[in-house]
Amino acid sequence: MHSDPDAVYADTIELDCDRIRPMIASPGDPGNGRQLNNLTDRVHVDIAYGGSCTAGKRDDFDHYFEVINWALEHELKLHPDVKLYLQFGTVDVRDYCEQKVIFRHSRLLVLNCYSLHAARVQTAAQARRPVRIRLQSAPSTVTFRGAPARDRYGWQVRQL
């Protein structure tokens, strides 16, 4: 990584990336991370997640597509017990991703993050076999009073 040559900093922190060890997040909170080399048991992965407002930009999804395409080219498959969730950061990113070939063979279930029915829809989506469904959370915001803002996509199931 490189900053702009004329960037101004309040402080500088130097990290030796060779000393940073791979970690996994334990359930409950990403802050519950554990170093892989300290684990004694094999790790069971049941959910793989990418996206959100932080990692849900176009270039993030370009990287996800690159990894998924590499896996497909090498005839690798997602383990049947693992569910893959990708969440768009914005509607624009969702529209951008819908044009990607990788989503042609996926069903997107789009709902509002704050929906009271999200758990029911997620359960129904997971029960559908053998079709793999990605549960997508539509970009949404909360108004000042805390009421959920609704976008024009609302509850929508689409076959792409």
Which pTM does this prediction carry? Answer: 0.52
State how far the Cα of 153 lies from the Cα of 13, in Å rounded to an integer.
43
Domain ranges, ordered by start, for the chain: 31-159
pLDDT(149) > 50: no
Instruction: Please give the DSSP secondary-structure letter assigned to residue 56.
Output: -
* Mean pLDDT in residue range 4-8: 89
As beta bridge partners, residue 135 has: 109
pLDDT digits (tens, 9 = 90+) for 55-89: 888 898 888 888 877 887 888 888 888 877 777 77
State how far the Cα of 20 lies from the Cα of 35, in Å rounded to an integer.
9
pLDDT digits (tens, 9 = 90+) for 12-44: 888 898 888 888 777 767 677 888 888 888 878
